[in-house]
């Protein structure tokens, strides 16, 4: 599986990009969409190096979560980021934006941001603006509460699932807590289309399905989301 290629135009600035005889400035949907389409079409550099066409599922675009997260000139409001995604998805350009050369790209990989902590400290403004729309791409929608803190309550016993590590870093998740304190709280993080990861509020570790130990669920060591840490979200009622 290849990681998505992500134009992240906030490392250095201010700067401009010329495509189709028009300049697009950082911090605008035009720059993000034009850079994404460059990867979708492939290109050749002046020294003759070829960059091949990437599949839609391999291309996302990257933005800073807040004006404090990177160079301020590259920041776009959540509304503008949403508009940028809609342009790529539907192929229709907003006034003054970049006109897509290849039509729509409904299979594009989504949006990367630097970073979740900035967004969380800003009241999840970016996540809340993007989540419903991105989850609806390609006709799929998980309705997962991305960015929110949840507790998992066993229907059979009425007790809450805990990731308490006070006894051992290898402790399995178990439902024995009568009230949801920090060990029983998890932040829902997007892990891709229709996939989520659960991050323990108390420890900062992700819930992992340990395939080396009988597929047990643990939250005592995973600091990033890999294959063992992503789950499909299903709303039952």
Dist CA 120 CA 125 (whole Å): 8
What integer pLDDT is reported at residue 33 of this predicted model?
Answer: 86
> Which domains are present in the chain?
16-139 (3.20.20.80), 149-232 (2.80.10.50)
Tell how far CA 231 is from the center of its chain. 14
Span 4-8, mean pLDDT? 57
Please, what is the end-to-end C-alpha distance for the chain in angstroms?
Answer: 33
Question: Count of alpha carbons within 13 Å of 46, Cβ hemisphere only?
Answer: 0
The four Cα atoms 80, 85, 88, 92 give a dihedral, to 10 degrees, of -50
HSE of 40, CA atoms in CB hemisphere, 13 A: 23
C-alpha 126/C-alpha 111 separation (Å) is: 10
Segment 155-189, tens digit of pLDDT: 999 999 999 888 666 678 999 999 999 999 999 88
pLDDT tens figures, 98-137: 778 777 887 888 888 888 889 989 998 998 888 877 766 6
| Predicted local distance difference test score (pLDDT) of residue 157 | 95
Name 141's Cβ contacts closer than 8 Å, sequence gap at least 6: 135
Mean per-residue pLDDT, 59-84:
88
For position 143, what pLDDT does the model report? 63
What is the overall mean pLDDT for the chain? 81
Give me the residue label for tokens 């970016």: 126
> Does position 95 have pLDDT exceeding 60, yes or no?
no
The 10s digit of each residue's pLDDT in 101-111 is: 777 887 888 88
> How many other CB atoms are there within 10 angstroms of residue 95's CB atom?
4
pLDDT of residue 141: 46
């Amino acid at each position: 599986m290849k990681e998505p290629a992500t134009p992240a135009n906030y490392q250095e600035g201010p700067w401009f990009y010329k495509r189709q005889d028009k300049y697009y400035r950082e911090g605008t949907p035009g720059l993000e969409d034009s850079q994404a389409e460059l990867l979708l079409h492939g290109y050749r550099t002046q020294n003759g190096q070829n960059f091949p066409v990437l599949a839609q599922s391999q291309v996302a675009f990257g933005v800073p979560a807040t004006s404090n997260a990177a160079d301020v000139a590259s920041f776009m409001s959540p509304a503008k980021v949403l508009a940028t995604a809609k342009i790529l998805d539907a192929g229709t350009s907003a006034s003054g934006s970049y006109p897509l050369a290849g039509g729509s790209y409904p299979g594009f990989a989504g949006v990367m941001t630097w970073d979740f902590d900035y967004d969380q400290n800003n009241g999840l403004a970016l996540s809340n603006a993007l989540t419903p729309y991105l989850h609806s791409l390609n006709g799929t929608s998980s309705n997962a509460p991305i960015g929110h803190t949840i507790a998992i309550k066993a229907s059979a016993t009425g007790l809450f699932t805990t990731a308490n590590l006070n006894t051992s870093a290898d402790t399995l998740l178990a439902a024995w807590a009568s009230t949801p304190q920090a060990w029983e709280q998890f932040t829902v993080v997007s892990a891709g289309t229709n996939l989520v990861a659960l991050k323990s509020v108390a420890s900062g570790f992700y819930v992992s399905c340990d395939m080396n130990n009988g597929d047990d669920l643990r939250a005592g060591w995973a600091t990033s989301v890999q294959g063992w840490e992503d789950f499909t979200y299903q709303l039952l009622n």
